Amino acid sequence: MKVLKFGGTSVGSAQRMKDVAKLITGDRKIVVLSAMSGTTNSLVEISDYLYKKNPDGANEIINKLAMKYMGHVEELYSTEEYKQKAKELIKSHFEYIRTFTKDLFTLFEEKVVLAQGELISTGMMNLYLNECGVKSVLIPALDYMRTDKNAEPDPVYIKEKLVKLLADNKDADLYITQGYICRNAYGEIDNLQRGGSDYSASLIGAAIGAEEIQIWTDIDGMHNNDPRIVQGTSPVRQLHFEEAAELAYFGAKILHPTCILPAKLNNIPVRLLNTMQPDAPGTLISNAIEKGKIKAVAAKDNITSIKIKSGRMLLATGFLRKVFETFENYQTPIDMVTTSEVGVSVTIDNRKHLEEIVDDLKKYGTVTVDEDMVIVCVVGDLEWDNIGFEARIVQAMKDVPVRMISYGGSNYNVSLLIKASDKQRALQALSDHLFNNK
């Protein structure tokens, strides 16, 4: 059985829901849906008004969103019976959201409000499939998707509950479920954070031993560079799980960095496909590697580099420990690290505690900060004995000033730190030199 996930843009209108319905009918499968595009942002805005104790502002957004959904109902369903069922479904969810305008609003209530988007979209899709004569059934994510006391998914619980739900509905052709939402270890409604619908699909695929996990978006697979700012990009047809994870972490927005780990561990291939071009081959992610091939380039913005230089570092034990403990004390992750005999340079993407970190680091040496930087990462099979790939990368960057270079922590990634003002020029040069043979 396959698991198919459709993002918010893929179910963002009545017509797109109809298009998705055509794609999913046929073989027996589990379909994971996000909220309709724009819904989660509106629910966040409603929550913001409620935190500020402004029920009138919240009700105004609630009414707008409810009217938008009622418009979708008129377009999506053809019979009065199903139009009425869908209107009752939508009305019940929005009436529930309105109950939160009357009482104390906390993070717990916010998570309940945010869950309504997925509950509405899956309810609407299931009704539409039933109207079309498809034997589909709604499998509520809140009945099986759970995190443990460390806020990590509980795979044993998920598998046990999901397998039972599928067995209880074994006559169904399609199983519709929600992405993103779950319960925590205490039974409260929670979520898997943004990008969590991809994670849901991967966890479901791992739980049932799926044949394949498909992530459907509005882009034809993962491109070899950022098509928004680089000319001549093309989809990458095959990626190793590690290559995909590097690209996702360093800025390829099509995939959430954490989502493919359950699939990787269970050796389940993940295919990225385009709802707007369903016949396009997309990108296949698996444990297979294409030897010696550079696959893609990605960039991570809003980076700050920090250099700590100290004559005392020479042959001194404990220096690096003190530096890294400083970042740990402020719960600030480090992206890149380069070292020399007298100093160390690191990069961070969270500036929240930058001032305190710099003050603490001044105990150990002279500190220099460079802001508004970008990490460019080149991804592929970059084993150290694959001769020549470093030269190709450096040659492509010959006209771009590079602040740091990092290689060796991974066999799949070379990272370069540059100024944000050089980003477009660097990405285009890498594409031209590595992929377009210019």
pLDDT reading at 84 higher than 90: yes
Structure tokens at 65: 């969103």
Crossing angle of the two packed helices 80-98 and 55-76, in degrees rounded to 10: 170
Which among 182, 203, 178, 177 is positioned nearest to 270, based on CA atoms?
A: 203
CB < 8 Å & 24+ apart, contacts of 17-20: 17/72, 17/76, 17/124, 17/125, 17/128, 18/76, 18/128, 19/275, 20/125, 20/216, 20/275
Q: Is 40 annotated as a binding residue?
A: yes
Q: Is 319 annotated as a binding residue?
A: no
pLDDT of residue 310: 82
CB of 235 closer than 8 Å to CB of 226 = no
pLDDT reading at 159 higher than 70: yes
Q: Is 347 annotated as a binding residue?
A: no
* Two domains, one topology: 1-217 and 292-434: no
pLDDT reading at 405 higher than 90: yes
Torsion sign (Cα): 416, 419, 420, 425: negative
Phi, psi of 118 (to 5 degrees): -70, -35
**Range from 23-27, 30-34, 117-121, 167-171 carrying the lowest mean pLDDT:** 23-27
Whole-angstrom Cα distance, residue 308 to residue 362?
8
Which among 335, 342, 288 is positioned nearest to 314, based on CA atoms?
A: 342
What's the pLDDT tens digit per position in 312-357?
Answer: 665 567 788 889 999 999 999 999 999 887 889 999 999 999 999 9
pLDDT of residue 387: 76
Q: Average pLDDT for residues 355-374, to the nearest whole number?
A: 94
Return the number of other C-beta atoms located less than 10 Å from residue 3's C-beta: 28
Phi, psi of 437 (to 5 degrees): 55, 40
pLDDT of residue 318: 79
Non-local (6+) Cβ contacts of 75 within 8 A are 13, 14, 15
* DSSP conformational letter for 330: T
Q: Where are the domains of the chain?
A: 1-217, 292-434
Which superfamily does 1-217 belong to? Answer: Acetylglutamate kinase-like (3.40.1160.10)
DSSP assignment of 280-304: S--EEEES---TT-EEEEEEEEEEE
Give pTM, 2 decimals. 0.87
Vertex 275: Cα angle to 273 and 278 (nearest 5): 70
310 vs 106: which has the higher pLDDT:
106
Whole-angstrom Cα distance, residue 361 to residue 343?
12
Return the number of other C-beta atoms located less than 10 Å from residue 351's C-beta: 14
Q: Is 349 annotated as a binding residue?
A: no
What's the pLDDT tens digit per position in 277-317?
Answer: 898 899 999 999 888 899 999 999 999 999 998 876 655 67
Q: Is 290 annotated as a binding residue?
A: no
CB of 225 closer than 8 Å to CB of 424 = no
* DSSP conformational letter for 83: H
pLDDT of residue 246: 87
Structure tokens at 45: 């805005």
Whole-angstrom Cα distance, residue 389 to residue 393?
6
Whole-angstrom Cα distance, residue 224 to residue 209?
30
Q: Is 6 annotated as a binding residue?
A: yes
As a CATH number, domain 292-434 is: 3.30.2130.10
Torsion sign (Cα): 149, 150, 154, 156: negative
Q: Is 217 annotated as a binding residue?
A: yes
Q: Is 438 annotated as a binding residue?
A: no
CA 251 remoteness from chain centre = 10
Non-local (6+) Cβ contacts of 210 within 8 A are 1, 2, 3, 30, 204, 268
Q: How many CA atoms lie within 13 A of 207 on its CB side?
A: 25
26 vs 405: which has the higher pLDDT:
405
**Range from 37-46, 59-68, 178-187, 191-200 carrying the lowest mean pLDDT:** 191-200
Strands 212-217 and 238-240, sheet pairing: unpaired
The structure tokens 């029920």 sit at 55
Beta strands in 99-208 (DSSP E): 136-138, 174-178, 181-183, 189-191
pLDDT of residue 195: 63
Q: Is 195 annotated as a binding residue?
A: no
Crossing angle of the two packed helices 389-396 and 423-434, in degrees rounded to 10: 140
Q: Determine whether 83 is exposed, middle or buried from the number of CB atoms within 10 Å of its CB (0-12, 13-18, 19+).
A: middle
